[in-house]
Amino acid sequence: MEQLATVWRALVLDRSPDADVRDLPGLAVRWAESRFGFWNCVTLTETGADAALMEKRLGQAADVMRSKEHTGFLWVFEDLLHDGARASLMEAAGRAGLEHAFSGTGMAGDLLPVPEPAHPELTFVRVGTDEQLRAYADLNSRAYDMPLEAGRDGLLGSRLWKTGVHAYLGLRDGVPVTCAGTVEADGRLFVVLVATDPRWQRRGYGEAVTRKALYEGARAGGPTRATLHATAAGAPVYPRIGFEPNSPLHFFTLGG
């Protein structure tokens, strides 16, 4: 959760200097008002919240989300909640007007440095041009079933993604088919926006480009620990690299 709050502060302020970045009691708001929904984020921050406090925070998070123009997500790390609150999370979210969108898993590991990666079908290139950044955005849009314009709104024009993020494309015969990035946060590497074109999934491409982003990020900064938030689809990949699951993660949107 702390890694999310730290990294997303930088990412949403990169997208919009006027982004809503606030640390409220029990809530972290990181909202860029981007059409790329992942840049519009609220998360619960207290440890051990009981059912009553959780329900209060869910209502407050929903109020923040209702005040915004663009849709986004409330992120809830299940292991931060008291046992009783975990059991009532879905029902309490519904009462707050929130709908469960999808689940994931928080992961971390003392796995750095990793060996320099290679894949027989891929070459790797670090994102450094607008064309490469557009390819990175489009891969995420296709992988997460979003309009191309949404991903482009989230990344095009960014200086941070060309300089501060170790963002890599995996090319097959010169065509971008997969991507991953890492960014340093509080002495750790945080993995961001891993995506593979749906036409080229289940070939080890996502794992290979993630290893590349980890390798280069560790080589530049020297951290030994890495963290990430995995979707259900991506979760099986990361233990092969050395990540260990540490908390179920749930994403909620406002109900219709």
Q: Are strands 188-196 and 225-231 parallel, antiparallel or unpaired?
A: parallel
Cα separation, 30 vs 71, whole angstroms: 13
- What local confidence, expressed as pLDDT, does residue 77 receive? 97
- What local confidence, expressed as pLDDT, does residue 233 receive? 83
Q: DSSP letter at 81?
A: B
Q: Can you give the pTM of this predicted structure? A: 0.94
| CB distance 98 to 74 below 8 Å | yes
H/E stretch holding 227 reads strand 225-231
Write down the domain spans for the chain. Answer: 2-105, 123-223
- Give per-10-residue mean pLDDT for the chain (256 aa): 95 95 98 96 97 98 97 96 96 97 96 94 97 98 95 96 97 98 95 96 95 96 93 90 95 91
- Beta-carbon neighbour count of residue 86 at 10 Å? 17
Cα separation, 166 vs 122, whole angstroms: 17
- Beta-carbon neighbour count of residue 56 at 10 Å? 15
| CB distance 1 to 80 below 8 Å | yes
- What local confidence, expressed as pLDDT, does residue 234 receive? 84
Cα separation, 215 vs 117, whole angstroms: 8
Kindly give the residue spans of alpha helices, DSSP state H, lying in 115-222. 130-143, 148-155, 160-163, 205-221
- What local confidence, expressed as pLDDT, does residue 15 receive? 94
- What local confidence, expressed as pLDDT, does residue 127 receive? 98
CA–CA distances in Å: residue 203 to residues 79, 144, 237: 32, 18, 11
- Beta-carbon neighbour count of residue 49 at 10 Å? 21
What is the dotted CATH code of the domain comprising 123-223? 3.40.630.30
Residue from 148, 202, 195 nearest 176 by CA: 195
- What local confidence, expressed as pLDDT, does residue 50 receive? 97
